[in-house]
Structure 1
Amino acid sequence: MARPPLTLPEPAEIRALIDGEGRLAVRVTPGARGVGLEIGSGGLKAKVREKPQDGKATAAVIALVAEALGIAPSQVELLRGATSRDKHFRVML
């Protein structure tokens, strides 16, 4: 069975969620069947296949956000929420 295609919102839609100091709040669903980002009423939501062990899910979210914005993963830094589903990143555009 084929995997569903990667779903990513437009970079401009994600940039609109980044505050003046470069912070972006993301609600993460680890261990999901599909991978993607979506913009909901509560902000940006990320679904990744990786389990929340040893920071693997967080690393997957960083890679996903960077890909959606068209930047290097090194420009996305975790600020808060290493062990939480609610994470805050600093995005250096």
Structure 2
Amino acid sequence: MDINVTPHPEGCLLDLKAQPGARKTEFRGIQNGALKVCVTEVAEKGKANKAILSFLRKTWRLKGSQLEIISGQTASHKRLLIRDLSPQKVLQLLKDCGLEDE
């Protein structure tokens, strides 16, 4: 899987490509090493970021404190800190969501 998941002292980092204002909230594959996530919320006042975090928490069954956008809050390219999970575990979660090698 050609995705950027790197170790971090608290867990790991994952590159995200956000697409706000989509028709439905879903994963849209891997794009340039980043997980592409589409959400129906618009990109204003952090609504899209909240929707992305909520979608990932629900999909991956994580606690709220485990996910944090650490850079790119106002950009489409974001860096996500996933606490208490190894890069291998995150890759397994992606595989479980049907995001195999593309």
TM-score bracket, normalised by the shorter chain, equals 0.7 to 0.9
The answer to whether 1:38 aligns with 2:25 is no
Structure 2 residue runs without a partner (length 5+): 85-102
Pick which of 47-56 and 17-26 moved more.
Answer: 17-26
Quickly say closer, same or farther: Cα 1:39–1:17, change in 2 above 3 A.
farther
Q: How many residues align?
A: 79
User: Please, which of 42, 48, 53 is the counterpart of residue 62 of structure 1?
Assistant: 53
Give the equivalent residue in structure 2 for 1:51. 42
Give the equivalent residue in structure 2 for 1:76. 67
TM-score, normalised relative to structure 1 = 0.75
- Displacement after TM superposition at 1:32 (Å): 0.3
Give the equivalent residue in structure 1 for 2:17. 27
- What letter is aligned with 2:66? Q
Q: What is the CA–CA distance in structure 1 between the aligned matches of 2:24 and 2:53, rounded to whole Å?
A: 16
Instruction: Give 3-state SS (helix, strand or coil) of 1:63's partner.
Output: helix
Cα offsets for 1:35-63 (capped at 9, x unmatched): 11133242310000100111000011111
Q: Which runs of 4+ in 1 moved over 4 A?
A: none
Give percent identity, aligned residues only.
Answer: 24
TM-score, normalised relative to structure 2 = 0.69
| Greater strand share, structure number | 2
Q: What is the CA–CA distance in structure 2 between the aligned matches of 1:56 and 1:91, rounded to whole Å?
A: 20
